[in-house]
Structure 1
Amino acid sequence: MDKLSNYYRNKKILITGHTGFKGAWLSLALSTFGAKILGISKNIPTKPSLYEASQLKQKVKTEFIDIQNLKKTKRVIKKFNPDIIFHLAAQSLVKKSFSYPVETFLTNSIGTLNVLESLREIKKKCNIIIITSDKCYENIEIKKGYKETDRLGGKDPYSASKASAEIILHSYFNSFICKKDNLRISIARAGNVVGGGDWSDDRLVPDIVKSWSKNRTVNIRNLKSTRPWQHVLEAIFGYLLLCYNLNKKKNLNGEAFNFGPGGNYNYSTKEVLEKLKTLWPKKSKIKVRRSSSIAESTLLKLNCAKAKKRLAWRSILNFHSTFDLTINWYINFYFKRKKNIYDFSRTQIKNYLVKFVKKNKLR
């Protein structure tokens, strides 16, 4: 067995936000490794959802609570007494944050505060990974890519809520966590992720597959907008590798790491559409409708040199393989319904793991 899978085998792992897109993929990966998982979430955020499509409720123990509730969050974490915590629970949509700014700050900032406060009652050794976002940086649209030491900020409520969560974490780390020998914590910042099982609103790939699967025209706001497109497994395995290294290296305690695609993988919406049209088995209709109601950044790129140097982390998928994996998952879901989604998703994870272990020298 490889070192990464072996580390997580039989570990008690708590995942916040496990019913969300990233949380469900993380749950699938850890269940594949043989971990004992407790997921806590407010609800199932989309319908359909990867959580339901892969029947994770039969595979992972679940507590439906709102992390805005400190008392309940403390109770669940204390009772489960985890070895590892991955905190992903969030209101993760930029556009929604304009409609519900208070809810966004309460979930992303105060929710993180409640998780951190709950850590103070843990007595056993516990490693914690807090997942924030590339949007926590003050985005001045530079081409070099943001480093972990660059200034935090956020013009929109979502970005500001994630920057706020990191400031809260910095305070708690220096005031409490760094003084406890049993706790170690790191921050993971990932960019724009894609992959099968995402049905969130106002995201490019989910909007496309939701429309095309019903033979409808997809409306596109901005063909020139660029993003560092990254498969969800690249980010998930970055989180897993970070926690694995945090357990071994005390000097990673309190550190933040970027996880973005390798090379120059900032592609425009137009290039993504052209790729997806070649993969989709049925008609693919597009209409460009510019919207000025929401201010969107047109350039956002991460510098991942720190993760490469200190974690020996390497991304393994290029632009084309990223979208091949993604669209193959959706084709399986929409057009090959007899195939088991749980098994199909785990097969993607296992195939990725083989390549990841080899490239990151984890055998």
Structure 2
Amino acid sequence: MAKVLITGISGQDGAFLARALLERGDEVYGAMRRGSTSKTGRLKELGIREKVKLCTLEVTEFANVQNVLNEIRPDMIFNLAAQSFVADSFQFPHYTSDVNYMGVLNILEAMRLLKLDAKLYQASTSEMYGDVLEKPQSEKTPFNPLSPYAVSKLAAHSLVVNYRQAYDMFATSGILFNHESELRGYEFVTRKITSWLARIKLQNAEAMPLGNLSSVRDWGYAPEYTDMMIKMLDHGEPDDFVISTNTEYTVREFLFMAAQEVGFDLYSEGEGLEEKCYNRKTGKLVAYVDPRYFRASDVVYLRGDNSKAQKLLGWKPEILAPEIARRMAIYDLKKAAVSNPGL
């Protein structure tokens, strides 16, 4: 039985990762930021809240990081803590850098100074590829970030490589492409789509404003991706791995797939900023492009080459975007119905 510390335990990935580790018998510590209330909703949703040992950790405070690592002495550390919303990174670039880069530096330095014999997983991101220089993107593709979020993540990614080489640490980075689930945050476009469609269906909500409907993403299912995090640390050597499905769908396609699940047959009119999506059966406006949701610089295409993970980790994605859209739409329909029990 391994002793495991997960930072960012309150997020989608933290919850699914904790469940997978508990199922194999590991002792799981969940690090959360200090605050008046604990964000444990996802842990409760998965029925594991009482099985996870929670602790307070501020990754931006080196002394706190060092003290927590020294007290727990984990065998494995999964660093999922991050300011992970790309749009917010333009508004809060200093905070984003503090958490996403300095937090990783604090963990690495604490591990080094404590001579901690632990394996580290660092959550890197496909956003580091930015304005992509080749298609699809692999571990060898040059990075070209387009947001403060991606820049901070790339700096942390490079730091992990440096500590791995300089200090012979078992420090691995997973370059995970977009991965969604029923527990995705509402600020992310997939969950915004499925939850808003449910409210339109059951609560007569207004039409949904969206950004670039032509943006292309490689969407996978979060529980499968967190399983791969574990496989990366179980692998014999530390390394960097792209985890993706090697498929591509536009935001528009995800919207249409999710809409079909709630009973809407959508069609589009107009192009670019003038595009609007209507329900064919009723003629009602369901979604429209709103320039407020365009980023200062936007990543328009991401598709991962997962060949390395397939070969070395046995990675084979099973649940792809159409099924993800279906599951998320069903989940949000049920949630919307509960909030309006008379419907």
| Short-chain TM bin | 0.7 to 0.9
1:13–1:83 CA contact under 8 A, matched in 2: yes
Return closer, same or farther for 1:332/1:76 CA change in 2, 3 Å cut-off.
farther
Alpha-carbon spacing, 1:316–1:189, altered in 2? closer, same or farther (3 Å) = same
Matched, 1:212 2:192: no
Aligned equivalent of 1:259, options 243, 248, 251: 243
TM-score by length of 1: 0.78
Tell me, yes or no, if structure 1 residue 313 matches structure 2 residue 298.
no
Aligned to 2:226: 236
SS of equivalent residue, structure 1 residue 120: helix
Return the match for 2:75 from 63, 83, 94. Answer: 83
Partner of 2:273: none
Aligned partners of 1:49 and 1:199 also within 8 Å: no
**Paired residues for 1:1-363 under 5 Å:** 10-42=1-33, 49-54=41-46, 56-123=48-115, 125-137=117-129, 139-140=131-132, 142=134, 144-176=135-167, 178=168, 183-201=169-187, 203-215=188-200, 216=205, 217-245=207-235, 249=236, 252-253=237-238, 255-262=239-246, 265-280=247-262, 285-291=286-292, 292=294, 294-335=296-337
Q: What SS does the aligned partner of 2:28 have?
A: strand
Q: Which amino acid aligns with 1:158?
A: Y
Contact 1:133-1:189 at 8 Å conserved across structures: yes
Deviation at 1:55, TM superposition (A): 5.6
Residue 116 of structure 1 deviates from its aligned partner by: 0.7
CA separation of 1:332 and 1:56: change in aligned 2, threshold 3 A: farther
**CA offsets 1:312-362 (integer angstroms, 9 cap, x no match):** 22112233222233334434544469xxxxxxxxxxxxxxxxxxxxxxxxx
Instruction: Give the Cα separation in 1 of the matches to 2:313 and 2:298.
Output: 32
Are the counterparts in 1 of residues 132 and 144 from structure 2 also a CA contact under 8 Å? no
- What amino acid is the match of 2:317? S
- d(CA) in 1 for partners of 2:219, 2:252: 13
Question: Which of 1 and 2 has greater Rg?
Answer: 2
User: CA separation in 1, counterparts of 2:295 and 2:180?
Assistant: 24
CA distance in 2, matches of 1:87, 1:158: 16
Distance across 2 between alignment mates of 1:42 and 1:319 = 32
SS in 1 for 2:255: helix
1:355 counterpart residue number: none
CA deviation vs aligned residue, 1:69-106 (integer Å, no higher than 9, x gap): 11111111111111111111111111000000000000
Contact preservation (8 Å) 1:222, 1:288: yes
Whole-Å separation in 2 of the counterparts to 1:165 and 1:200: 26
Q: Does the 8 Å contact 1:136/1:163 carry over to 2?
A: yes
SS in structure 1 of the partner of residue 291 of structure 2: coil
Instruction: Note closer, same or farther for the CA distance 1:69–1:48 as it changes in structure 2 (3 Å cut).
Output: closer
Shift, 1:298, TM fit: 0.9
- Which stretches in structure 2 are left out of the alignment for 5+ residues? 265-278, 280-284
Q: Residue 17 of structure 1 contacts residue 41 of structure 1 at CA under 8 Å; is this kept in 2?
A: yes
The whole-number CA distance in structure 2 between the counterparts of 1:119 and 1:266 is 38
What is the CA deviation profile of residues 157-180 of structure 1, one whole-angstrom value per residue up to 9, with x for unaligned ones?
A: 01100111012222222222x1xx
Deviates more, 1:128-137 or 1:101-110: 128-137
Deviation at 1:271, TM superposition (A): 0.9
Mapped to 2, the partners of 1:13 and 1:46 lie a distance apart of: 20
**281 and 26 in structure 1: CA distance in 2 versus 1, 3 angstrom threshold:** farther
Q: What TM-score, normalized to structure 2?
A: 0.83
Opposite residue 198 of structure 1, the aligned amino acid is R
CA distance in 1 between partners of 2:177 and 2:259 (Å)? 23
CA distance in 2 between partners of 1:71 and 1:205 (Å): 38
Provide the aligned C-alpha RMSD in A: 2.6
Report if the CA contact (8 A) 1:145-1:301 is conserved.
yes
> Could you give the per-residue CA deviations for residues 284-306 of structure 1, whole angstroms, max 9, x where no partner exists?
93222234553211111211111
| Cα displacement string for residues 199-219 of structure 1 (whole angstroms, at most 9, x for unaligned residues) | 242x21221234234332221
